[in-house]
Amino acid sequence: MIDFELGDELALIRETALGFANDQLRPRDREFEKARAVAAEVHEAFRAIGLGAIEVPEEQGGAGLGALARVLVFEELAAADAGAALALDSLGPALYPLLELAGGDALDALARPVLERTGARGVLVWDGAGRVRRERGRVSAEIPWVPTDRVDLLVILDPTGAVCVSEGIARSELRGAGLRAAGASALRLEDAPVRAAWEGAAGARRALARARLYAAALLVGVMRAASDFSREYALNREAFGRPIAHHQALAFLIADMATAVESTRLLVQEAAWRIDGGEEAAEPCATAFLEAAEQAMFVTPNALQILGGHGFMQDYPVEKFMREARTLGLLFGGTDAAREEAGRELDTTPGPAAVGGAGA
Amino acid sequence: MDFAPDAATRKRVEQLSQLGRAQIRPLGLEADRLGRPTPPDHPFFDLLIQLGQGRTRWSEESEAKSRDASRSRGGSSLVTLCLAEELSYWDRGVAVSFPGPGLAEPSILSMGTPDQKRRFLGPFVEPDRPRWGSFAMTEPGAGSDVAGIEASARKDGRHWVLNGAKSFAANASRADWIVVFATVDRSLGREGHRAFVVERGAPGLGNFAIERKMGLKAYESTSFTLEDCRLPGENLLGGEEHYARRAGFRGAMKSFNATRPMVAAMAVGIGRAAFDEARVFAREHGRLADARVRDRLERIRRRLRAARLLCWRAAWLADRAQPNILEASMAKAVAPEVALEAACLGMEILGEVGARGDHLIEKLFRDVKAMDIVEGTGQIQRIIMARRLVKLPSERG
Ligand SMILES: Cc1cc2nc3c(=O)[nH]c(=O)nc-3n(C[C@H](O)[C@H](O)[C@H](O)COP(=O)(O)OP(=O)(O)OC[C@H]3O[C@@H](n4cnc5c(N)ncnc54)[C@H](O)[C@@H]3O)c2cc1C
C-alpha cells in the first residue's frame, strides 16, 4: 500500500548525507567554486562515509544501493553545493550506460580505475541529435560544455547504445555558467579511438532515464536550498513595518515555492521507486526531470527576488542557486529532449487513463 | 517507500469505475442537460443503497472503541481518497449527490456526544432508504472568513432559538438534518460559534432555494433561512460542556486535516477526466503528432501526477495522526489549479467543438472551477501554509 516511510536504512543514509553536506560542503561552497575543485580532504571525508559509489555494485567496490538512495543523497548534497556533488561523484551518470549496457567486466576494467583515483572523473554525454561522428572504431565530435576539468573516461550515449573513449580528447577550459566546483570544459574529439562500444536501444533508454533522474535529484536539492534560504531571509528582513514575509504577496509566493519543492521531490522519488522496482521508467524519469527543471526555474529566480538587490550579489548563495538550476536543466538534451521522451507515451499508451487511474 | 495502492484498494477503485462508466457519468450529463439536481427519489439512489453506499463510518462498535481512551486511531483516508478521485473522474457533481451524512459527518464524529452520534448517524448505519445529511457554515456575507458569520443562537430556557441565513449548503433541502453553525456573541469570533443539528421540519427552518450554478449541477447547493427556529437543548452538538472545555484550548489549531486532501483528490479526478478526453480527441483527430499539442498534454499529465502525490502524502500523514496541515493545503492549493488547466487545454484541443456546449470537456470546464473555492479557496490555503512556513499573523488581531 502507498507508504511514504523511508525505513531505517534509507533514513540513516539521508541523515549521513545531510550531516556531510552541512559540515563539509555548505561552509566552503564559494571556495570550491573559485578553486574549480573540491578540497582533497573533502574527497577523503566523502569516501569515508561510504556514499561515494552509491549505485555501483558491491562486487565493484560500490555501495550497491538503488535509485531511491541516490536521489535522497544527491538532494542533500546539492542543497549544499551542486557543483561539489558532481565533483565528488567521480563516475557520475557515466555509470549508467556501463550498468545497463556493459556489465560486470566492463565495470571492473573501465569504472574501477576512475573510482579508485581521487579527483578522477567519468563524464556522460548524450548524443540525441547525431552530433558525434563514428567511423571505423574512431569518433569525432565537438562538445560545447561538460561540467568537469578532467576526463578520465568519456561515455557517449545515443539512442542505439554507447561508446567509451579515454584517449584523444582535447579539452579546453571554460568559465562555466554554473556548477564551477565541478569544473567546466569544452571537448574536441578528432578520430579518438573507441575503447569499448555496446549496442542496445532498451539499455540506452534506461541509462538515459537514470541520468535524467540524477539531474532531477540535484535540481530538487538546489531548489530546496533556494526556497529555504529565501524564506529565512524574508522572516528577518523588514520593510514597511513588518517582516517582508508577512506581506501577502511574498507569503503566497513563499508557500508556492515550498509546494513546488515538495511536489517535485515526490515525482522524483516515485520515478526512483519505479527504477528500483525494475521498471524501465523512461517516461517517469523524463517527466520528473522536466518538472524539476521547470520548477527550479520558478523557485530559484524568485528566491533571488525575495532578497532584492542583495540577492544579485555574490555574498549570498541565491544567485549561485539560480545559475546551478539553469545549468543542470541543460544536461542530457535538456527539457525539450525530455519532453520528446515523455510525450511519446501519449501516443503509445492505448485508451484513456494515461495519468494512471487512481488504482494504477 | 511504496507508490502503489494495494490490491484491495485497486479492486474497489475498479468496481467504482464500472459503476462510474455505466451510471455516474451518464447521470451527471443528464443533470447538466436538464439543469437541475438529480431528484432525491431517483432510482439511482436506491441502487446505491443496495450497493452498500450512503452509509456512515460510525457504528456502535466504533463508539465502544473510541471510548477505549488512549488508542490512536489509524484512519483510512488514503483509501477513501483513492475512491473519491475515481468517483470524481466519472462525475464530481453526482459524487456529492450520493446519499449519506456527507460533509456533516466529521462534525458529528468529532463534536457529538455518544447519544447524538447514535441519534443522528444511527439511521445511516443500515439505511432503509436514501438519506442525506447537510453542512451549513457559509452565509451570504461570510465564507472564507468564517469568524464573520451572523446567524445567531440565543438560549431560551432549555431551548435554543436560531436566526439567520445560510447559503450553498450541499443537499440541504433533501437532508434529514443540517449541521448549522451560529454564534452566541459575534464579538467572540470563532469562540462564540455553536454547532446545531437542525432537523427537517424544525419550526422556522425554510425558504429553501436551490442555487443555479455554472456546473456541478447534479447536486443541489441550497440556501435557506432560520426564523426564530426553536431547537431542544439536546440538538447543540457536543452539549454545553464541549464549548466550556474548548475555551481552554483557545487558539489551539487542529494538527491534521483529512478533508482538504480529499477535495484535492476530487479535483485530480476531474482533471484526469479532462486530460483523458483531450488526449483521445487529439489522437482521433491526428493532433498528437503536433509537438505543440503533445507538449501541453505532457505538462498536464505531469502536473496531475504531482498533485496526486501531494494528496496521497497528506492523507498518509492524516492516517497516522501526524501533523499534515501544510501538506493538506499544498494539495488543496495545487490540484484545483492543475485541473482547471487540464480542462482549459481540453477546450483548446477541441477548438470550436468546445464552444458548442455539448462536449464532456466543456462540462468539466464548468464543473472544475468550484474546486478552488470549496473547502477553503486557493488564497486561504496559501494563508494556512504561510502561517506554518513564516508565521504569517492571523488576519484578525
Ligand atoms: C459549489 C459549492 C458548494 C459549496 N458547498 C458548501 C456547503 O455544503 N456548505 C457550506 O457551508 N459552504 C459551501 N460552499 C461555500 C464555500 O465554502 C465558500 O464559497 C467559500 O468558503 C468561499 O467563501 P465566499 O464564497 O464567501 O468568498 P469570500 O470569502 O467572500 O472570498 C472572495 C475572494 O476573496 C478571497 N479572500 C478572502 N479572504 C482573503 C484573505 N485574507 N487574503 C486573500 N484573499 C482573500 C477569496 O480567496 C476569494 O477569492 C460551497 C461553495 C460552492 C461554490
Chain A residues 53-92 with a CB less than 8 Å from chain B: 68
Interface check for B154 against chain A (CB to CB < 8 A): the answer is no
Model pLDDT, residue A345: 80
Model pLDDT, residue B68: 60
Of B2, B82, B309, the CB nearest to A266: B309
Could you give phi then psi for residue B217, rounded to 5 degrees? -75, -15
Q: Which three cell numbers stand for residue A61?
A: 567496490
Which residues fall within 8 angstroms of residue B280, CB to CB, at 6 or more apart?
Answer: A351, A352
| C-alpha closest to that of B102 among B80, B86, B82 | B80
Per-residue pLDDT of chain B (397 residues; tens, 9 = 90+): 999 999 999 999 999 999 999 999 999 999 999 999 999 999 999 999 999 999 999 998 888 877 664 444 556 889 999 999 999 999 999 999 999 999 899 899 989 999 999 999 999 999 999 999 999 999 999 999 999 999 999 999 999 999 999 999 999 999 999 999 999 999 998 899 999 999 999 999 999 999 999 999 999 999 999 999 999 999 999 999 889 887 655 444 567 788 999 999 999 999 999 999 999 999 999 999 999 999 999 999 999 999 999 999 999 999 998 999 999 999 999 999 999 999 999 999 999 999 999 999 999 999 999 999 999 999 999 999 999 999 999 876 5
How far apart are the C-alpha atoms of A135 and B80, rounded to whole Å? 60
| C-alpha closest to that of B3 among A275, A100, A290, A211 | A275
Q: Whose CA is nearest to atom 44 of ligand 1?
A: B379
**Are the beta carbons of B38 and B94 closer than 8 angstroms?**
yes
From chain A, the residues in CB contact with B89 under 8 A are: 357-358
In order of start, what are the domains of chain A with their CATH numbers? Answer: 202-348 (1.20.140.10)
Q: Which long-range contacts (CB under 8 A, 24 or more apart) does B243-248 make?
A: B243/B194, B247/B191
How far apart are the C-alpha atoms of A98 and A198, rounded to whole Å? 9
For A48-77, what is each residue's pLDDT tens digit?
998 888 999 998 888 999 999 999 999 999
From chain B, the residues in CB contact with A355 under 8 A are: 272, 275-276, 301, 304-305, 308
Interface check for B382 against chain A (CB to CB < 8 A): the answer is yes
Q: Whose CA is nearest to atom 43 of ligand 1?
A: B379
Query: Average per-residue pLDDT in chain A?
Result: 94
How far apart are the C-alpha atoms of A227 and A214, rounded to whole Å? 20
Q: 3-class secondary structure for chain A?
A: CCECCCCHHHHHHHHHHHHHHHHHHHHHHHHHHHHCCCCHHHHHHHHHCCCCCCCCCHHHCCCCCCHHHHHHHHHHHHHHHHHHHHHHCCCHHHHHHHHHHHCHHHHHHHHHHHHHCCCCCEEEEECCCCCCEEECCEEEEEEEEECCCCCCEEEEEECCEEEEECCCEEEEECCCCCCHHHCCEEEEEEEEECCEEEECHHHHHHHHHHHHHHHHHHHHHHHHHHHHHHHHHHHHCEECCEEHHHCHHHHHHHHHHHHHHHHHHHHHHHHHHHHHCCCCCHHHHHHHHHHHHHHHHHHHHHHHHHCCHHHHCCCCCHHHHHHHHHHHCCHHHHHHHHHHHHHHHHHHCCCCCCCCCCCC
Ligand 1, residue B142: give the atom nearest the CA.
26
Model pLDDT, residue A226: 98
- Count other Cβ atoms within 10 Å, centred on residue A24: 22
Tell me what the mean pLDDT of segment A268-287 comes to.
96
In order of start, what are the domains of chain B with their CATH numbers? Answer: 7-100 (1.10.540), 134-244 (2.40.110.10), 248-390 (1.20.140.10)
**Is B389 close to A231, i.e. CB distance below 8 A?**
yes
Nearest-5° Cα angle at A332, A330 to A338: 85
Chain A residues 257-316 with a CB less than 8 Å from chain B: 258-259, 262-264, 266-267, 269-270, 273-274, 287, 290-291
Of A246, A263, A274, the CB nearest to B309: A263
Model pLDDT, residue B69: 47
Model pLDDT, residue A358: 42
Q: Is A353 left (phi over 0), alpha (psi -120 to 50) or beta?
A: left
3-state secondary structure of B133: strand
Distance from CA of B269 to the nearest CA of A (A): 8
Model pLDDT, residue B158: 95
pLDDT confidence bin for A160, thresholds 50/70/90: very high
pLDDT confidence bin for A342, thresholds 50/70/90: very high
**Are the beta carbons of A150 and A120 closer than 8 angstroms?**
yes
**Is B85 close to A358, i.e. CB distance below 8 A?**
yes
Comparing B63 with A203, the larger pLDDT belongs to A203
Comparing B110 with A253, the larger pLDDT belongs to A253
Provide the residue type at B219 as one letter.
Answer: Y
Which residues fall within 8 angstroms of residue A15, CB to CB, at 6 or more apart?
Answer: none
What distances in angstroms separate CA B256 from CA B306, B322, B324, B328, one per listed residue? 21, 7, 5, 8
Ligand 1: distance of its center to the CA of B221 in Å?
13
Percent of residues, chain A, with pLDDT higher than 90: 89
Has residue A244 got a pLDDT over 50?
yes
Ligand 1: distance of its center to the CA of B324 in Å?
22
**Is A359 close to B86, i.e. CB distance below 8 A?**
yes
Q: Which three cell numbers stand for residue B156?
A: 431560551
Tell me what the mean pLDDT of segment A179-185 comes to.
97
Of B6, B316, B389, the CB nearest to A258: B389
Model pLDDT, residue A227: 98
Nearest-5° Cα angle at A287, A281 to A291: 145
Residue whose cell numbers read 521547470: A294
Report residue B359 CA to chain centroid gap.
Answer: 26
Model pLDDT, residue B248: 56
Which residues fall within 8 angstroms of residue A245, CB to CB, at 6 or more apart?
Answer: A231, A234, A235, A251, A254, B386, B390, B392
Model pLDDT, residue A359: 40
Q: What is the DSSP string of B135-181?
A: EE--BTTBSS-GGG---EEEEETTEEEEEEEEEEEETGGG-SEEEEE
Model pLDDT, residue B70: 43
Q: 3-class secondary structure for B365-393?
A: HHHHHHHHCCCCCHHHHHHHHHHHHHCCC
Tell me what the mean pLDDT of segment A328-334 comes to.
96
| Ligand 1 pocket list (CB less than 6 A) | B 103, 135-138, 143-145, 168-170, 216, 221, 370, 373-374, 377, 379-380, 383, 395
For A279-328, what is each residue's pLDDT tens digit?
999 999 999 999 999 999 999 999 999 999 999 999 999 999 999 999 99
Write out the catalytic residue numbers of B: 375
How far apart are the C-alpha atoms of B181 and B149, rounded to whole Å? 8
